[in-house]
Amino acid sequence: MTRRGGILALLLAALALVVAAVVVVVGLNRADNQDTAGDQPDPGQSSTQDASPEPGPVASPVECPASTVQVGNSADLSNALDAARPGDVIGLGPGVYTGNFAASASGTAEQPITVCGDAESILDGGTTDDGYVLHLEDSAYWVLQGFTVRNGQKGVMVDQGTNLLIQGLTVTTTGDEAIHLRKFSTDNRVIGNTISNTGLRKPKFGEGIYIGTAESNWCDISNCEPDRSDRNEIAGNTISGTTSENVDIKEGTSDGILRDNSFDGSGIVEADSWVDVKGRGWVIADNAGADSPQDGFQTHEIVDGWGTENVFRDNVAQVNGPGLGYSLKPVRDNVVECSNTASAAGEGLSNEPCTSG
């Protein structure tokens, strides 16, 4: 055989090996698709399977930026919050910071004010009967990141806060709700927090995340007007052990996003769903919930015109309860897309047919 012929033979042999490999991979992919195709639920159909829902993605831990102010005790933290200026990074050393902490300064988009620690940096209110463990008021462009908040009547309270990022906190053991945005708090993000063990003072007020203000309190909080805590994003949080709703979205709030959260309703005793949407124009997408005393997700029209124009999309509701995956009250202008699923829901997917989106 000539040298040229030998090279040609080697090339042909290599080509044959590549073709064979491609055929094997394609065959395996086809086999995988055939094996799993029967396991896919029809869009929007209720199922009796008890497979646990996949939780929404939780934000990966983010390292603290370099501190400009390092604190290690309660007095130092209070002083740092009082003196905070744009660009400050308040680093929390490990330990227990006992007290109720408050701040009212503002950062800027380019230079936010950051308070950062890890799970061993613990803000402790000392009692679940009274006080806010951490209260931001009239504040903008803050980052609260990584630390633990516990033992207050309320965990993190935000009044008139804008462009805040509350990220990667552990908020637990509260008398009432864990995280609350109210009094015209807008354009904030509550991302990747772990919330548990709320409602130890009054189970009725034991929400995990609470957006806005109930109409009955508008005259106390928002000058008798709707509390327009608008355009807030609640994403990637893991919420369990709440005595009331995991997330309560109040009348008066608009245009928010609730996505990629994981809900556990097994501790609910003073509510009947993981999520109650009384606001308008919210998108509720890609959340996963398990174990509710009644329904998975609900809307309610507490005030005329509110509790409407909300969209549910790509949520997974393992209800394990007697009600619906998605209960719309009122039905009008609320949408449950057929990409949502519900399992072990006694009354099925929804009280209205799903839409194709």
What's the pLDDT at 62? 78
pLDDT of residue 61: 64
Q: Where are the domains of the chain?
A: 60-350
Q: What CATH number does domain 60-350 carry, 3.40.50.2300, 1.10.645.10, 2.60.40.10, 2.160.20.10?
A: 2.160.20.10
Cα pseudo-dihedral 290, 285, 141, 212, rounded to 10: -70
What spatial distance separates the first Cα and last Cα of the chain, rounded to whole Å? 66
pLDDT digits (tens, 9 = 90+) for 238-277: 999 999 999 999 999 999 999 999 999 999 999 999 999 9
Each residue's pLDDT, cut to its tens digit, for the chain (357 residues) gives 444 444 344 344 444 443 333 333 333 333 333 333 333 333 334 333 333 344 444 455 679 999 999 999 999 999 999 999 999 999 999 999 999 999 999 999 999 999 999 999 999 999 999 999 999 999 999 999 999 999 999 999 999 999 999 999 999 999 999 999 999 999 999 999 999 999 999 999 999 999 999 999 999 999 999 999 999 999 999 999 999 999 999 999 999 999 999 999 999 999 999 999 999 999 999 999 999 999 999 999 999 999 999 999 999 999 999 999 999 997 879 999 999 999 999 999 999 999 997
pTM: 0.84
pLDDT score recorded for residue 23: 33
Contact predicate 150/171, CB 8 Å: yes
| Nearest to 217, CA basis, from 229, 208, 209 | 229
pLDDT of residue 32: 38
Res 60: pLDDT: 56
3-state secondary structure of 56: coil
How far is residue 237's CA from residue 171's CA, in Å, rounded to a whole number? Answer: 11
